[in-house]
Structure formats: C-alpha cells, structure tokens
C-alpha cells in the first residue's frame, strides 16, 4: 500500500482515499454516538440537530422566506443535508490531515465537535448537561480515528516486515483486509448506534397508546365533501399523514407523556400546572377548524382542515384567573420556543382550544403530541403552538416571541383566500367540459359564502359550492367550464360570509400573510 514518495515513513499507508474514509468513518461514528447519548435525554443536543437549529435560528428572515418558497417543507431535509455534507467534507479533510500527522487530523475533528457542542450549549433552554453528547462524540470520534490510524500503520508495517514493501504502493491483500474489517466494524457500530438512538426515542411516548375521551361538546356530523366527485380537489378533511407541517424543528419531537405538564403562569391569580390526565377530566370539546400558515403564498399548500379534540383555552385560563395587565398569551413549547397570541382575540368567544386529538387520533408527534394550541382565524405562527407546555400571561411590552423577534407581525388574522386545486397551471386539456375546482377559506369572517371563477379576464361567475362545515372551516367549490381551444387564464376568488370579496391586491407572506388572486394558464387542444 505504501509509497515513500515524500519521505514519509514507509510503514504509513499512503492511500489518500483510505485516510479520507477514516476521517469520514470516525466522524460518523462520533456523531452517531453523540446522537445516541442525546436521545437518552435531550435530542436537541445531538451534534447534527444542534448545528442545524443554530443555522435555522441564525438564518435571516428573507433567506428563510426564499427557502420556503423554493423548497417548501423540504427546506429542513435540505438544510440538514447541507450541514451534513459540509461536515463530511471537513471530516474527509481531517482524515487526510491525519495521514500526514495524526495530531492534525485529531485537531480538526476536535474543532468540529467543539463547534457542535457550542451550538448545543447555546440552544434555547440548554443546560450544562447538553455538553454530554458532544463529549461522547469527541471520545468516540477521536478514539476511532486513532484506532483506524493505528490499524492501518500496523497492517502497513506488518506488510513491510513480512511480505516485503516492494509492492510499490499496492499493498497486500491482508493489509487491505485488516483496514477494511476495521472500517466495516466502525460503520456497523455507527449504524447500530444511530438506530438505537432512534429506537429509544420512539419507545418513550407513543401517541397510539393514548385513549381519547369522547367529547362532551361534539362537533356536528361531518358532511360528505366533493372529494369523490371532483377529481384532484383537496379532501374536505385532510388525513393526519397528509396535513401540512410547518415548524422550526429539524426532528420530530418526542415529548414524554408521563412527565408532560401545562403550566399557566405570569399575570394570573394562581399559577396552575395541569397533567394530561387533568385535561382529560375537563370538559372536552370537538371542533372542525382549518389551520393556515402565514408563509402560505396565494395558491400554496400550507393550509388544511381537520377535526380537533381538546379543552377550551378559556377554561384553562379561568383556572388560573387572568390578571388585568396581560394583553398577550406567550406560549412556550417543550423546548423553549415561544409564540405570542393577542389575549383579546384568543378569548373573544372563538373556539380557541388546547387540542389533544386530531381526526379521531391522539395528536401525531409532528403536529404537537401530546397537546397544542388551535385558534381559529389566526395564522399558526401566532396561535397554534405545538408541544405546548406553558402559557404565560404577559404584555407585548414585556415579552416577545420567536417570530416577533424576526420581524413578523404580532397580530395576524388569516386573510380570505382561494386555491385552485384543479386543473394545474400549464395543463393541456381536451376541449369541452373542464371542471375547475378547489378550496377557499375565510375563518372568523363568516366563512366562505361564494367562490367566483373568471376566465380570460371575463365576468366573475359563481362556482357551485360544497358543504358548509362551519365558518372556521374551508369550503370546496367547483365550476363547469366549457373550454374552447386556445390558451386561457383561469382565476378564482372568494366572498366571505361577512360580505368581503377577496382582494386582488398582492402581498407577499412576510410579514402578515399573502394576498392576491390566484390565476393560472392552461392550454385547451
């Protein structure tokens, strides 16, 4: 294997690829060990996730906007992927440095671990304990690099002594085998550790083990939507696995149900802490509500309707007794992430709730297990705190929340909007009857009364409306269009129950939600 071209001791194998591989493997093994250790306590201190969330938090809002526009919900996998790719390049460099001098490689790997540990320690809510996964990463990562380096040089010197070094850089089968076996063992160990970390997390809390109570105040019978009738239209009720997901997390949080509590504090008569069982004892309500993300662009995917089960937010607040100074509910999730909600809007009689169920199941982990806020009519970033653990009654003067600190609006009612689900932009369609269909929403604006469709800038014509679930729910609609050959522009707008017509004035999502009318081109043949 070895060639002493540049005066290195002949016992040291010179395969650059091999050494780059050592850097990669030792870094992966260290990272997997850190992830495993983090999974035992606080997954956020896992080296990869810690670096990833630090990058997310530090990303300026316009860049985030751009990423969401271009990658949608894939922004996170892309981010983790880029962080990982960058780290792996550096890991390979560390391996190459170690080939020259082991200490150099160790120094670079040590630096990587130090950065990840620093990221974990500066996470919101971090404690000194969050350094432990970093230490595990360092011990396993650096240790593995030393071991691999040693195996390689032993094999190489064994080769030099026994079978003769005269093989001119090719090395013998047995030396390569030794290095390969060592590398294989490390790769296997890394995989097992990463898998074990995931397994441990999954064992901790299982939404499927929760038995949901029957509602004291049930929602009405859910009507049949147009789902079966209009090809390509959004389902009236969106299944949990298809429901849009937007949050700052890189992982799917696993919150322990046994130790989970919800505390109401701040400007209250008495601080109250509720367990999950305490919630089950309260009056349980069931409501059909459509959530909408402020990042949704006109015609976008970040809006869906579901049936929620839970308790009234006002019932929870009343247990603590809200003081007279508060104008904000600052809600905090299990990890210290905060969302602020105007107190007057949350308590004005709308169906604001602490939800524990979604479409007949416990909340999925991705959607806030074991409990989240749901408030009709306000964008999710000021209302829909997932994995919620604390409601602090405070004022906007005293406290600000995650997105407020990033210049998003503080008070953000959902804007009336309509999405065309079918046809798709640039579709080629046969002439004759084409069914145009979609959904529209106007939560807390009296719901959707009417959707209108416009072809080629002509008159606005009424669409046929699907069932009206309630004013906080979206409504399906469709329009039979007699399509003639040529290229056509199709647009749709909604008129809400309070008599407002969806505005044509365009606004970007930042800072308080997109507006405008979706219009798309199709070709009829």
Ligand X SMILES: Nc1nc2c(c(=O)[nH]1)N[C@H]1C(S)=C(S)[C@@H](COP(=O)(O)O)O[C@H]1N2
DSSP3 helix / strand / coil % (the chain, rounded to 5): 40, 25, 40
CB atoms within 10 A of CB 301: 14
Site for Mo ion in 231-270 (CB under 5 A): 246
Q: How far is the CB of 243 from ligand X (least distance, A)?
A: 6
Q: How far is the CB of 233 from ligand X (least distance, A)?
A: 20
Q: How far is the CB of 396 from ligand X (least distance, A)?
A: 19
Q: Which two tokens stand for residue 436?
A: 């145009």
**Is residue 377 within 8 Å of residue 444, measured between CB atoms?**
yes
Considering beta carbons, is residue 387 or 481 the nearer one to ligand X?
Answer: 387
486-496 and 519-524 beta bridge pairing: antiparallel
Q: Which two tokens stand for residue 209?
A: 């083990």
Q: How far is the CB of 385 from ligand X (least distance, A)?
A: 5
Q: Does 337 bind ligand X (CB under 6 A)?
A: yes
The count of chain residues that interact with Mo ion, using the rule CB under 5 A, is 5
Considering beta carbons, is residue 151 or 392 the nearer one to ligand X?
Answer: 392
Q: Does 244 bind ligand X (CB under 6 A)?
A: yes
Q: Give the number of residues written for the chain.
A: 525
Considering beta carbons, is residue 414 or 453 the nearer one to Mo ion?
Answer: 414
Identify the bridge partners of residue 418 per DSSP, sorted by sequence position.
440
**Is residue 306 within 8 Å of residue 243, measured between CB atoms?**
yes
**Is residue 437 within 8 Å of residue 478, measured between CB atoms?**
yes
H or E segment and range at residue 135: helix 132-162
Q: How far is the CB of 108 from ligand X (least distance, A)?
A: 34
Figure out which of the listed residues 369, 381, 473, 474 binds Mo ion, where binding follows CB under 5 A: 381
Distance separating alpha carbons of residues 387 and 242, to the nearest angstrom: 19
Give me the phi and psi of 124, to 5 degrees please: -65, 135
Considering beta carbons, is residue 1 or 238 the nearer one to ligand X?
Answer: 238
Q: Which stretch binds Mo ion (CB under 5 A): 15-23, 85-93, 340-348, 377-385?
A: 377-385
Q: Does 380 bind Mo ion (CB under 5 A)?
A: yes
Bin 142: left if φ > 0, else alpha if -120 < ψ < 50, else beta.
Answer: alpha
Distance separating alpha carbons of residues 236 and 475, to the nearest angstrom: 7
Binds 22, which of ligand X, Mo ion, none (CB < 5 to 8 A, cut-off by type)? none
Distance separating alpha carbons of residues 437 and 233, to the nearest angstrom: 6
Considering beta carbons, is residue 333 or 449 the nearer one to Mo ion?
Answer: 333
Distance separating alpha carbons of residues 35 and 476, to the nearest angstrom: 45
Figure out which of the listed residues 97, 293, 388, 517 binds Mo ion, where binding follows CB under 5 A: 293
**Is the peptide bond between 88 and the residue preceding it cis, with omega within 30 degrees of 0?**
no
Q: Does 421 bind ligand X (CB under 6 A)?
A: no
The count of chain residues that interact with ligand X, using the rule CB under 6 A, is 17
Q: Does 251 bind ligand X (CB under 6 A)?
A: no
**Unique residue bearing structure tokens 């309630």:** 470
Q: Does 97 bind Mo ion (CB under 5 A)?
A: no
Binds 247, which of ligand X, Mo ion, none (CB < 5 to 8 A, cut-off by type)? ligand X
Distance separating alpha carbons of residues 260 and 256, to the nearest angstrom: 6
Figure out which of the listed residues 237, 386, 475, 493 binds ligand X, where binding follows CB under 6 A: 386
Distance separating alpha carbons of residues 276 and 435, to the nearest angstrom: 47
Considering beta carbons, is residue 49 or 378 the nearer one to Mo ion?
Answer: 378
Q: Which residue is nearest to ligand X (CB)?
A: 380
Binds 333, which of Mo ion, ligand X, none (CB < 5 to 8 A, cut-off by type)? ligand X
Binding mask 355-374 for ligand X (x = CB under 6 A): ------------x-------
Give me the phi and psi of 231, to 5 degrees please: -60, 130
Distance separating alpha carbons of residues 26 and 34, to the nearest angstrom: 12
Q: How far is the CB of 214 from Mo ion (least distance, A)?
A: 31
Considering beta carbons, is residue 102 or 409 the nearer one to Mo ion?
Answer: 409
**Three-state secondary-structure class, residue 268:** strand
Q: Does 248 bind ligand X (CB under 6 A)?
A: yes
Distance separating alpha carbons of residues 14 and 152, to the nearest angstrom: 10
Identify the bridge partners of residue 393 per DSSP, sorted by sequence position.
266, 329
Binds 503, which of Mo ion, ligand X, none (CB < 5 to 8 A, cut-off by type)? none
**Unique residue bearing structure tokens 């003769």:** 164
Considering beta carbons, is residue 13 or 300 the nearer one to Mo ion?
Answer: 300
Considering beta carbons, is residue 48 or 291 the nearer one to Mo ion?
Answer: 291
**Is residue 159 within 8 Å of residue 165, measured between CB atoms?**
yes
Binding mask 171-210 for ligand X (x = CB under 6 A): ----------------------------------------
Figure out which of the listed residues 19, 387, 441, 481 binds ligand X, where binding follows CB under 6 A: 387
Q: Does 380 bind ligand X (CB under 6 A)?
A: yes
Chain contacts with Mo ion (rule: CB under 5 A): 246, 293-294, 380-381
Chain contacts with ligand X (rule: CB under 6 A): 243-248, 291, 293, 333, 337, 367, 380-381, 384-387
């Amino acid at each position: 294997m070895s060639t002493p071209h540049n005066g290195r001791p002949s016992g040291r194998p010179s395969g650059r690829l091999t050494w780059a591989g050592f850097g990669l493997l030792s870094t992966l093994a260290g990272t997997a060990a850190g992830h495993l250790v983090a999974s035992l306590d606080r997954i956020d201190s896992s080296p990869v996730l810690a670096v990833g969330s630090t990058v997310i938090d530090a990303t300026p809002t316009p860049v985030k906007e751009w990423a969401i526009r271009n990658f949608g919900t894939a922004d996170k996998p892309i981010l983790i992927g880029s962080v990982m790719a960058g780290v792996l390049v550096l890991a390979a460099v560390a391996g190459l440095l170690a080939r020259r001098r082991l200490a150099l490689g160790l120094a670079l790997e040590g630096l990587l671990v130090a950065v990840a540990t620093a990221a974990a320690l500066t996470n919101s809510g971090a404690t000194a304990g969050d350094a432990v996964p970093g230490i595990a990463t360092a011990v396993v990562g650096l240790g593995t690099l030393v071991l691999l380096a040693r195996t390689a040089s032993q094999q190489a010197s064994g080769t030099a002594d026994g079978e003769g070094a005269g093989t001119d850089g090719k090395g013998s089968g047995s030396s390569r085998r030794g290095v390969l076996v060592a590398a294989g063992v490390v790769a296997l160990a890394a995989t097992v550790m990463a898998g074990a970390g995931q397994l441990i997390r999954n064992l901790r809390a299982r939404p499927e083990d929760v038995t949901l109570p029957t509602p004291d105040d049930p929602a009405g019978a859910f009507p049949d939507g147009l789902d079966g009738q209009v090809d390509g239209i959004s389902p009236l009720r969106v299944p949990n696995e298809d429901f849009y997901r937007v949050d700052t997390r890189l992982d799917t949080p696993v919150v322990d149900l046994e130790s989970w509590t919800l505390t109401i504090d701040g400007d209250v008569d008495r601080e109250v802490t509720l367990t999950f069982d305490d919630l089950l004892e309260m009056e349980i309500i069931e409501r059909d509500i459509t959530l909408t993300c402020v990042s949704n662009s006109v015609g976008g995917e970040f809006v869906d309707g579901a049936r929620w089960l839970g308790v009234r937010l006002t019932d929870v607040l009343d247990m603590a007794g809200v003081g007279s100074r508060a104008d904000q509910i600052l809600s905090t999730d299990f990890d210290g992430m905060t969302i602020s909600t105007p107190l007057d809007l949350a308590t004005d009689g709308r169906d604001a709730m602490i939800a524990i169920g979604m479409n007949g199941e416990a909340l999925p982990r991705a959607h806030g297990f074991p409990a989240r806020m749901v408030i009709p009519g306000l964008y999710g970033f000021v209302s829909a705190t997932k994995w919620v653990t604390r409601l602090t009654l405070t004022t906007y003067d005293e406290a600000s929340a995650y997105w407020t600190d990033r210049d998003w609006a503080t008070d953000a009612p959902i804007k009336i909007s309509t999405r065309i689900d079918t046809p798709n932009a640039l579709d080629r369609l046969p002439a004759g009857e084409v069914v145009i269909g979609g959904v529209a929403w106007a939560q807390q604006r009296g719901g959707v009364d009417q959707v209108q469709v416009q072809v080629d800038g002509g008159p606005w014509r009424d669409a046929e409306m699907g069932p009206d679930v309630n004013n906080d729910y979206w409504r399906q609609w469709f329009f039979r269009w007699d399509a003639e050959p040529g290229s056509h522009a199709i647009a749709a707008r909604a008129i809400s129950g309070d008599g407002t017509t969806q505005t044509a004035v365009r606004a970007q999502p930042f800072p308080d939600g997109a507006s405008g009318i979706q219009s798309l081109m199709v070709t009829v043949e």
